[in-house]
Amino acid sequence: MGVTWNPSGRGPGVGQFVAGACLAAVVAAGMAGPATAQTDNDKIVAERVAANADKFNLSMVPEIKNKQKITVVVESGFWTDYLKQAMIPKFTEKTGVEVEVVGMSTNVMYAKQQVELLGDTGGYDVLSMEAAYVPEWAANGYVKPLFDLAKEYDPDGADGMVTFLKPFYAGLMSMMTYDGQPYSIPYNNYTMGLHYRADLFANADERAAFAEKYGYPLTVPKTFPELVNAAQFFTRKAGETLAGQTLAKDFYGVALMAGRNEQINDEFSAIIWGMGGDWFRSIYDKTGKLEGYEITIPDRISAVAAETYLDLLNYAPPAAKGWDFPEAANAMAEGQVAMVPFMYNNLWPVTASVEEKVPGAKAAVDTVPGGRPYTGAYGIGVAHNAGNPEAAYWFVKYLTSYEGQMAYALGGGNPCRRDVVLDPFFQSPDRRLINGAYAQNDADTLAWTYDVAKKGHFTSTAMGKIYSELAITSAKIANKEMTVDAAYKELADKIRDIQDRSGNAPILN
């Protein structure tokens, strides 16, 4: 570098050597850092797999006859990088099947995959399926049923698949199941939690001031009025004090995902469900067959939920009206807010990083107020027109195996297998900033076990479309473009229209 480039014709100077040495050091450090962490994780995975030898792992994948390359869709982000660097090379080495990874942001995942499926292009072998897509894609025959694949390719057959799926959260598996068959296996649990600054809630001065102002002790909010009060209490201007420190910038009670993205409707859902309400609910006959849906909005519960959200917006940064989940999580990470009341627990590593950025900060997680967090998962399944369904099946099984989910958890993800989530390895204090939300997430995900099937959210084949409309209405309400009642009435008409045109069962009311 600095030695060979020598336009002056004289020997290399000291400056060039120093520059070259610095550059080399930077490159070496860059290469050493991630690779070292990856090697450590590989060792941990190998140890855990060896300690759980009875569980399915990569070494148990039989010979795959079809060596055609497979294309896999996953959510873009850290997971995609880890998949490419750590897991796929192992899969290819074992099976001889090359794997191409296509990372997609969640905003385009439905539309992009849908276009390929509708066009029958065979572009993807393994699909990423959010809970809302499963009924539609399963009903339209876009995804292969897992039991059928197991019968065809797995020596353990369908019974083996039943055993394989046992450690997964029943509620999440319910979302990935249609007409009694699982079509997808969940790998990324995004159940929400209340992420908050425990140091602020524990500060003696703040506690005294809160009790004096509101007449009850400051506790982690369990109800929505408590949440609004805490948000109001912690919202301060620059120059005021917070936990004994003078604020250099404005500080806010909450961060919200109030931008024109689909996640705003997850926040609304958490509030509506937490108050005992719904958008639209599934109605079954006595044999368990889905008869149809009842639209419940607009009703008093949804109206109060909207008013609560508007109240909370007063205590969120003004920029929140343009935020999606990364910005909301970063707001806590950067010490800008006291709470993110509805945050996906797979973003705990982001919110918890506030401890590294703000001196004295302590992050914690609890159940969302109302106790009904937005829940769900991303799963993976095999496309109906996969060029290599055999390899795709084994890839799905590998990725969601104890080994695969362990690797996912080590990388900071929120797995969907209880045997991984509750592994003592992740409960240790030194893993807290990465996996500290697991215990809470476990409890909250379990609480949904029997209620998932009651929600139109997780059973309608038109949910991929209805979900967008929920977000638009939530955004209109947040932006005060319409009255709450008018917005909900408009939404009710749209749900009815979409369900009638694209849905699996009629609206009954």
Partner 1 sequence: MALDTSSDIPIAGRPAARRSAFGRLLDNDASFKWLLLAPAILFMLLLVVYPTLFAVTTSFEKYILPRKPSFAGLDNWRWVVNDASFWTAFGITLKFVVIAVVVEIVLGTLIALFLNRDFRGQTLVRGLCILPLVAAPFATSLAWRHLYNSDYGVINYALQAIGLPKVEFLADSSIALYSVIAIDVWQWTPLVVFVVFAALRGLPKEPFEAARIDGASAWFTFRRLTLPMIKPVLLIVAMLRLVEAFRVYDILYGTTRGGPGTSTETINWLIFREGFQYFDLGRATAMSVLVLLMVLVLTNLLYQQLVKAIREG
Identity at 433, one-letter amino acid code:
L
Among 18, 118, 211, 446, binds partner 1 (CB under 8 A): 118
CB of 472 to partner 1, least distance (A): 7
Among 37, 51, 115, 238, binds partner 1 (CB under 8 A): 115
Q: Residue 480 half-sphere exposure, CB side, CA atoms within 13 Å?
A: 5
Upstream peptide bond of 167 is cis (omega within 30 degrees of 0): no
Segment holding 283, helix H or strand E: strand 280-284
Q: Give the residues across from 507 on adjacent strands.
A: 293
Q: Residue 403 half-sphere exposure, CB side, CA atoms within 13 Å?
A: 28
Contact between 490 and partner 1 by CB under 8 A: the answer reads: yes
Question: For partner 1, which is the closer residue by CB, 61 or 491?
Answer: 491
Asked whether the CA dihedral 396, 401, 407, 408 is positive or negative, the reply is positive
x/- map, 264-303, partner 1, by CB under 8 A = ----------------------------------------
DSSP annotation string for 395-449: HHHHHTSHHHHHHHHHTT---SBHHHHT-HHHHSGGGHHHHTTHHHHHHHHHTTT
Question: For partner 1, which is the closer residue by CB, 160 or 335?
Answer: 335
Among 114, 156, 208, 312, binds partner 1 (CB under 8 A): 114
Question: Which stretch in 48-56, 203-211, 313-321, 439-447 sits in contact with partner 1 by CB under 8 A?
Answer: 313-321
Using CB atoms within 10 A of its CB, is residue 33 exposed (0-12), middle (13-18) or buried (19+)? exposed
Among 3, 18, 51, 111, binds partner 1 (CB under 8 A): 111
For residue 296, CA distances in Å to 197, 277, 290, 509 come to: 35, 8, 17, 9
x/- map, 433-472, partner 1, by CB under 8 A = -------------------------------xx--x---x
x/- map, 335-374, partner 1, by CB under 8 A = -x--------------------------------------
Among 105, 245, 479, 509, binds partner 1 (CB under 8 A): 479
Among 135, 145, 253, 259, binds partner 1 (CB under 8 A): 259
46 alpha-carbon distance from chain centroid = 26
Q: Measured between alpha carbons, how far is 295 from 488 in angstroms, rounded to an integer? A: 11
Question: For partner 1, which is the closer residue by CB, 110 or 169?
Answer: 110
Question: For partner 1, which is the closer residue by CB, 69 or 249?
Answer: 249
Which residues in 317-336 contact partner 1 (CB under 8 A)? 317-323, 334, 336
Among 24, 481, 508, 509, binds partner 1 (CB under 8 A): 481
3-state secondary structure of 113: helix
Question: For partner 1, which is the closer residue by CB, 261 or 459?
Answer: 261
CB of 345 to partner 1, least distance (A): 25
CB of 481 to partner 1, least distance (A): 5
Phi-psi category of residue 107: left, alpha or beta, with phi > 0 → left and psi -120 to 50 → alpha: alpha
Contact between 110 and partner 1 by CB under 8 A: the answer reads: yes
CB of 94 to partner 1, least distance (A): 36
Asked whether the CA dihedral 203, 204, 205, 211 is positive or negative, the reply is positive
Please give the radius of gyration of the chain, using alpha carbons only, rounded to the nearest integer: 25
Question: For partner 1, which is the closer residue by CB, 417 or 476?
Answer: 476
CB 383 within 8 A of CB 127: yes
By CB under 8 A, how many residues form the interface with partner 1? 33
Chain positions contacting partner 1, by CB under 8 A: 110-111, 114-115, 118, 140, 258-261, 317-323, 334, 336, 464-465, 468, 472, 475-476, 478-481, 490, 498, 501-502
